Amino acid sequence: MNKIPMVIIDNNEKTRIQLMELLEGVNYIELIGDFDNLLVGYDFIAQEKPQLVIIDLTENTDLALEIVEKISKIDKNTVIFACSENVSTEMVIKTMRCGAREFLTKPVILEDLNSALRKARSLLTADTEKTTGEIYSVFSNKGGIGKTTLAVNLALQLNELTGKRVCLVDLNLQMGDVTTFLDLNPSFDIAYITSHISSLDESFLFTSLEKYKDRDLYILADPPYVEQAEEISVDDIASVLNFLKSIFSYVIIDTSSSFDIKTLTCLDMSSRIFLVSMVNLPSIRNCQRCLTLFKRLEYNEDKVKLVVNRYIEDDEITIDDVEEALNQEVYWKIPNSYFSVMTSINKGVPISEMDSKAGISKNFAQLASKISGITFYDEEDSKEHDSVNFDMASVVDKFKNLNLPFIKQRS
Ligand SMILES: Nc1ncnc2c1ncn2[C@@H]1O[C@H](COP(=O)(O)OP(=O)(O)OP(=O)(O)O)[C@@H](O)[C@H]1O
Ligand SMILES: [Mg+2]
Residues sharing a CB contact under 8 Å with residue 227, sequence separation 6 or more, in sequence order: none
115: pLDDT confidence band, cut at 50, 70 and 90?
A: confident
Q: Whose CA is nearest to atom 31 of ligand 1?
A: 342
Burial of 203 (C-beta count, 10 Å sphere; 0-12/13-18/19+):
exposed
Query: Does 127 score more than 70 pLDDT?
Result: no
Q: Whose CA is nearest to atom 11 of ligand 1?
A: 146
Q: Could you give phi then psi for residue 322, rounded to 5 degrees?
A: -65, -45
Best probe residue, ligand 1, of 149, 169, 273 (max atoms within 8 Å of C-beta):
149
Averaged pLDDT of the chain: 88
pLDDT number for residue 362: 95
Burial of 209 (C-beta count, 10 Å sphere; 0-12/13-18/19+):
buried
411: pLDDT confidence band, cut at 50, 70 and 90?
A: very low
Residue 39 CA to ligand 1 centre (angstroms) = 57
- Name the residue with higher pLDDT: 114 or 409: 114
Distance of CA 404 to the CA centre of its chain: 34
CA atoms within 13 A on the CB side of 233: 6
Contact 346 CB / ligand 1 (< 6 Å):
no
Alpha-carbon distance of 314 to 332, in angstroms, equals 17
pLDDT number for residue 379: 59
Query: Does 281 score more than 90 pLDDT?
Result: yes
Alpha-carbon distance of 104 to 111, in angstroms, equals 11
Best probe residue, ligand 1, of 139, 145, 260 (max atoms within 8 Å of C-beta):
145
- Strand partners of residue 148: none
Atom of ligand 1 nearest to the CA of 150: 18
Ordered structural domains, the chain, with CATH: 4-128 (3.40.50.2300), 134-375+383-389 (3.40.50.300)
Contact 208 CB / ligand 1 (< 6 Å):
no
pLDDT number for residue 394: 45
Mean pLDDT, range 193-213, rounded to an integer: 92
**DSSP 8-class letter at 79:** E
Ligand nearest to the CA of residue 334, numbered in listed order: 1
Contact 342 CB / ligand 1 (< 6 Å):
yes
Condensed to tens digits (0 to 9), the pLDDT of residues 150-188 reads: 999 999 999 988 888 999 999 999 999 999 999 999 999
pLDDT number for residue 31: 95
pLDDT number for residue 393: 45
Contact by Cβ (8 Å): 385, 378: no
- Strand partners of residue 273: 137, 304
Residue 19 CA to ligand 2 centre (angstroms) = 53
pLDDT number for residue 96: 84
Ligand nearest to the CA of residue 170, numbered in listed order: 2
Contact by Cβ (8 Å): 205, 243: yes
Query: Does 409 score more than 80 pLDDT?
Result: no
Residue 28 CA to ligand 1 centre (angstroms) = 51
Alpha-carbon distance of 79 to 243, in angstroms, equals 15
Query: With the C-alpha atoms ordered 228, 233, 234, 238, is the resulting torsion angle positive or negative?
Result: negative
Residue 139 CA to ligand 1 centre (angstroms) = 12
CA atoms within 13 A on the CB side of 339: 20
Atom of ligand 1 nearest to the CA of 142: 25
Query: Does 330 score more than 90 pLDDT?
Result: yes
Query: Does 400 score more than 70 pLDDT?
Result: no
Atom of ligand 1 nearest to the CA of 342: 31
Identify the three-state secondary structure at position 81.
strand
Contact 341 CB / ligand 1 (< 6 Å):
yes
Condensed to tens digits (0 to 9), the pLDDT of residues 284-305 reads: 999 999 999 999 999 999 999 9
Q: Closest Cα to residue 125, out of 135, 136, 117?
A: 117
- Name the residue with higher pLDDT: 215 or 399: 215
Neighbours of ion ligand 2 (CB under 5 A): 147-148, 177
Query: Does 381 score more than 80 pLDDT?
Result: no
Alpha-carbon distance of 39 to 19, in angstroms, equals 20
pLDDT number for residue 125: 67
Identify the three-state secondary structure at position 37.
coil
**DSSP 8-class letter at 297:** T
Mean pLDDT, range 88-106, rounded to an integer: 87
Alpha-carbon distance of 150 to 254, in angstroms, equals 9
Alpha-carbon distance of 176 to 226, in angstroms, equals 10
